[in-house]
Amino acid sequence: MSNVFPSSHPLVAHKVTLLRDIATEPKKFRGLIREISALLIYEATADLLVQSKNVQTPLDIAQGAELVEKFGLVPILRAGLGMVEGIWELMPSAEVWHIGLYRDERTLKPVEYYNKLPIEPTVSVCIILDPMLATGGSAVATVDILKRWGVKKIKYVGIIGAPEGIKLMQQNHPEVPIHLAAIDNHLNEHGYIIPGLGDAGDRQFGTG
């Protein structure tokens, strides 16, 4: 599991517990998704490239650093949308490219319904955002899309992952790091993560 990074941060553990709670209503749920996403992106971006940059302070010159890569955040609709805001606060110059996928309820396979990526890639690093890595079909399909687009560096940031989804990603895209707040036990017969948190899209948007 060398490319899988479950967070061990106490704040993340505390907030994921609140997120899972059936009593957490959509407004609070959205706030927690935003906060957890910001904490996870802090961990997921620890290896980003920087170049040195000097800056004039009121008193002297300080040796500093600036990021050199161009980033794209890639939320998978719908549930990934809620992860953008907290991350954008920290990475305001990141481009956001939406990918629309839904899981067919019968086959559990992803169906693509929205993709407006231009022909040439405009970023060098893409960070896929989706709270739930269940069968892994949506994550694998999104990495496929981004690789076809020509992006070389891809990361996945989710909140809860199932062993089944992690395995599928590792089989198909072993070089993509997977950052998660928690790894759960298994999927049920409907492809839901157990214990999980239910349907992440419905709980954010008050549907279902």
Please confirm, yes or no, whether 104 is among the known catalytic residues.
no
Interior angle at CA 159, CA 158 and CA 165, nearest 5: 60
Structural contact between residues 181 and 159, judged by C-beta atoms closer than 8 angstroms: yes
Could you say whether residue 196 binds ligand PRP (CB under 6 A)? no
CA distances from 33 to 11, 79, 90, 114, 206 (A): 13, 10, 15, 23, 14
Rounded (10°) CA dihedral 171, 198, 184, 6: 80
> Is residue 148 annotated as a catalytic residue, yes or no?
no
Q: How crowded is residue 189: how many other Cβ atoms within 10 Å of its Cβ?
A: 5
Active site residue 130: no
Give which of ligand PRP, ligand URA, none residue 128 binds (C-beta under 5 to 8 Å, depending on kind): none
CB 71 to ligand URA: min, Å: 25
Q: Which x/- pattern over 57-96 shows residues binding ligand URA (rule: CB under 6 A)?
A: ----------------------x-----------------
Of the residues 17, 107, 122, 207, only one is catalytic, namely: 107
Q: How far is the CB of 104 from ligand PRP (least distance, A)?
A: 8
Residues in the site for ligand URA, rule: CB under 6 A?
A: 79, 132, 134, 191-193, 196, 199-201
